[in-house]
Amino acid sequence: TLDLHLELEERLAKYVGMEAALVFSTGFQVNLGTIPAIMDRDDIIITDKEVHASIIDGVRMAKVLKSVQTRFYKHNDPADLEAVMSSFPPDPAKLVIVDGVFSMGGDIAKLPEIIPICKKYGARLMVDDAHSLGVLGGGRGTGYHFGCQKDVDLVMGTFSKSFASVGGFISGPKEAVHWIQMFARPFIFSASLPPSNVATVLACLDVLEQEPERVERVNKIGERVRTELRAMGYNIGETETPIIPIIIGDMMKTMQAWKVFFEAGIYTNVAVPPAVPAELCLLRTSYMATHTDEQVSRVLEVFRQVKDMVQIGG
């Protein structure tokens, strides 16, 4: 660990409104290491059904190492979260884990409804803001987006999205972060993040703090694309962010649509089984502040062509 790492941790903690932060070599390692480290035997972990794979693996690790109890609740359904929470006795410690922005669907966790449930049942709340930082809350994440950051116990983030690098971090109370530093095996037994990557993240923090118009720009692009795709009759689910899925359903049509975009020089992420259920085959698109209006118009034009060529229904 160099002074550069410590500087980054201090700035990240301040940026997301936490007392302390700890930098990991990858974002995946953050969840894989943090979740088992903070849980104890017979504790309870409750997660949204559609959280990121790194959270799922972290929960599995905690189950093996600490014999924790684990349950999922229906995606972004606070009522089901409460039903699950109320099924447990009051004494065991409980941790609720959500994605701030869900990576495949682009929808936002309902923190204003989730937080009162956590308080009612004495649960801690961990938010994975991998896809929220640089986008929501003026760039500071989901808690700031809803004005409830002080009610979030732990915030996780990655550097491979808005920070144009690699790595990740966990942030929260000083005592909790220090505990994670001592007991998160993926942190202890991995090489530190290279200084060049750390410097990149620091530079990106400068940009986010000094050029807020970039955050405004990416959200403006997202709003435009969502509006126009819905007008065309595309099914884009419940997305509220610049992550915009096009849910096609039929795997062959999904692959055909992906091929049309690829040949037009436009890259989309294709999601088919086993990554998603067969009826939810989709193209995942995501947008950047640096995309020009002309580029966005070109993408939308290809969407118009694809809908007729592949015969995609709404």
103 catalytically annotated: yes
pLDDT at 202: 98
**Catalytic option among 94, 145, 161, 307:** 161
Largest CA distance in the chain: 58
Predicted model pTM: 0.96
CA distances from 195 to 10, 12, 171, 302 (A): 16, 16, 20, 41
Instruction: Report CA 141 to chain centroid distance, whole Å.
Output: 10
Range list for CATH 3.40.640.10 in the chain: 3-210
pLDDT tens digits for 148-179?
999 999 999 999 999 999 999 999 999 999 99
Active site residue 161: yes
Give the pLDDT score at 313. Answer: 62
Regions of the chain with pLDDT less than 50: none
Contact between residue 285 and residue 303 where contact means Cβ atoms under 8 Å apart: no
pLDDT score at 277: 87
Q: Tell me whether strands 154-158 and 123-128 are parallel, antiparallel or unpaired.
A: parallel
The per-residue b/e assignment along 177-190, b for 16 or more CB within 10 angstroms, e otherwise, is beebbeebebbeee
From 66, 103, 190, 253, the catalytic residue = 103
CATH 3.90.1150.10 domain extents, the chain: 213-310
Active-site residue, selected from the candidate residues 52, 131, 145, 307: 131
- Scanning the chain, the segments in alpha helix (DSSP H) are 3-16, 27-38, 53-66, 78-86, 111-120, 142-146, 174-183, 185-188, 195-210, 213-232, 251-263, 293-310
Mean pLDDT for all residues in the chain: 96
**pLDDT 10s digits, 101-142:** 999 999 999 999 999 999 999 999 999 999 999 999 999 999
pLDDT computed for residue 275 by the predictor: 84
Q: Does domain 213-310 have CATH number 3.30.230.10?
A: no
Residue-level pLDDT at 220: 98
Q: Alpha-carbon distance 251 to 49, whole Å?
A: 23
d(CA 192, CA 179): 18
pLDDT of residue 219: 98
52 is catalytic: no
- Does the domain at 3-210 match CATH 3.40.640.10? Answer given as yes
